[in-house]
Amino acid sequence: MPEISIQRDASVPDRLRVARSLSAPNLGPRLLFFSGGSALNGISRQLKRYTHNSAHLITPFDSGGSSQVLREAFNMPAVGDLRSRLMALADETELGQPDIYRLFSHRLPSDADTGALAEEVASLFAGDHPLLRALTRPMRQLILGYLRHFQSAAPAELDYRGASIGNLILAGGYLSNGRALEPVLFLMSKMVDVRGTVRPIADVDLEIGVELSDGRRVFGQRAMTGKECAPLCTRVSRLFLSDGSAELPARSVRLPGRNRDLIQGSDLICYPPGSLFSSIIANLLPVGVGRAIAARQVPKVYVPSLGVDPECHDMRLSDQVAALLEPLRRDASKACPTSALISHVICDTQVPEAEREAVRRDHGIPCPALPLAKPEHPDRYDPVAVCEMLISLT
C-alpha cells in the first residue's frame, strides 16, 4: 500500500474554509466520526452550524444506564448513544420540529413514586401524554404505533425509571421493522431534521470486553468506564467483541457496506474525544474498518480527551495512539503506513511538549498543540475551536 501524505497544517486555521462552511452548511465538508457516549455531543451541536454533512458511526455495544434495561428485555443493540447524537444534530430552531425534539429528549422521572410513574407510562401508551398531544396527528399516530409495539413486547416487570422516551420509540421501531435499526433511525432523523448521518457501526446485539495487563478479563462496557462501577485501575492490553461471557472471533462482525461508503466518501476522519476503548476503539473492531480507513486519502485526526479517562490507566498519549493503531493495523495489515491510519494527533496546549514529542518519536505523527480547551474549564473542549480546526483541515 503506498504511503499517504497529508500536507495540511493544523496549526494554521483556514479562515476561508471556515467562512465558506458557515455561509453554506448544506454544502459543508463530510466529516466522519467514530464515536459513542456523550463526549462529542457538545461539539456536534456546534458542528451543524458549519456542515450538514457530517457522519457519525456510533458503538451499539453500551451496557449501562437505561440502554441496558432495553438490551436485557429485547436482546437488541444499545440505542441510547444513537438517540443522543441524533438529538445533538437535530434542528433545534422553531423551523425544525421542536415538539418532536422535546418528546424524544424527555426522560421519565427516576425518583417518582410508583403510582405517578405508572400513570405517566400509561398516558404515553394511551396517547394522552402532553408531549404526544402536542404533535400533529399524522406524526403522533406514527410515533404512537411504535410505542404500542414496544408496550406489547415489553415484559410486565420492565423498570421505566429514568427511561428516555426517545429510546422507547427507537426500541419499538426496531421491533416493528424486523429487528433492524436502520429504518427507524432514518425515520427519526427525518422527524427532527438531523443535520448529518447517524448510524451504528454494525447492527448487532453484542458487548465488548477487555483483557488487562495482569491477565484478567472484564466483560461489558459498564464495568470499564469508571462511571457505574469502580475504575479498572489496571492497564488495558486490548479490547475485543463479546457475547457477554466470552470473546468472539474478530471475524464475527463485518463493517456494513453502507458504512464503508460513508468512510470512502469522507473529507476527514476523526477519532474524537471520548472514552478511548468503549467509545472510540470499539468502533474499529468490525472487519473492514481498518482497510476502509487506509484506502481513503484524507486527513485522519485523533483528538484525545481532556482530563482523566478511567479507561487509560497508566497510559501516556503515545500509548493511546498505539492502542488506536492496533485494531486498525490488524485489519489493514501490519505493513500499513501509520499516516494511512492516523495523519495528525492534535492536542490542547496544556498537553506537555514531552508527551507530544513522544508521539512524533514513536509513531512519526505530527502532534501540534492548539488552544482548544475552554479557558474557564480546562477539562472541556471549546466546541467552536474544535469545529473550526477540523473544518480547516478539509
306 and 343 co-located in one domain: yes
365 and 259 co-located in one domain: yes
Q: What local confidence, expressed as pLDDT, does residue 262 receive?
A: 98
Is 224 inside any structural domain?
no
Is 103 inside any structural domain?
yes
374 and 260 co-located in one domain: yes
CATH number of residue 30's parent domain? 3.40.50
Measured between alpha carbons, how far is 234 from 237 in angstroms, rounded to an integer? 9
Measured between alpha carbons, how far is 181 from 258 in angstroms, rounded to an integer? 13
22 and 86 co-located in one domain: no
55 and 89 co-located in one domain: no
Is 314 inside any structural domain?
yes
Q: What local confidence, expressed as pLDDT, does residue 231 receive?
A: 85
279 and 349 co-located in one domain: yes
272 and 335 co-located in one domain: yes
Tell me, rounded to whole angstroms, the distance of Cα 224 from its chain centroid: 16
39 and 87 co-located in one domain: no
288 and 380 co-located in one domain: yes
Measured between alpha carbons, how far is 131 from 124 in angstroms, rounded to an integer? 9
The dihedral sign for the CA sequence 9, 13, 18, 19: negative
Is 382 inside any structural domain?
yes
The kind and range of the H/E element at 361 are helix 353-363
Is 315 inside any structural domain?
yes
Report the DSSP beta bridge partners of residue 58.
Answer: 35, 200
Q: What local confidence, expressed as pLDDT, does residue 275 receive?
A: 94
Residue 131 and residue 107 in contact, taking contact as beta carbons nearer than 8 Å: no
Is 296 inside any structural domain?
yes
| Number of domains within the chain | 2
In degrees and rounded to multiples of 5, residue 374 shows phi and psi of -70, 130
Q: Which residues make Cβ contacts (< 8 Å) with residue 48, sequence separation at least 6?
A: 25, 54, 89, 91, 195, 196
Is 219 inside any structural domain?
no
Measured between alpha carbons, how far is 211 from 117 in angstroms, rounded to an integer? 40
pLDDT by residue for the chain (394 residues), tens only, comes to 333 344 556 555 588 889 889 999 999 999 999 998 888 999 999 999 999 999 999 999 998 777 889 999 999 999 999 999 999 999 988 777 899 999 999 999 998 899 999 999 999 999 999 999 999 989 999 999 999 999 999 999 999 999 999 999 999 999 999 999 999 999 999 999 999 999 999 999 999 999 999 999 999 888 887 777 888 899 999 999 999 889 999 899 999 999 999 999 999 999 999 999 999 999 999 999 999 999 999 999 999 999 999 999 999 999 999 999 999 999 999 999 999 999 999 999 999 999 999 999 999 999 999 999 999 999 999 999 999 999 999 9
258 and 147 co-located in one domain: no
C-alpha cell of residue 107: 426522560
Is 186 inside any structural domain?
yes
185 and 107 co-located in one domain: yes
87 and 182 co-located in one domain: yes
Expressed as residue numbers, the domain containing 97 is: 77-194
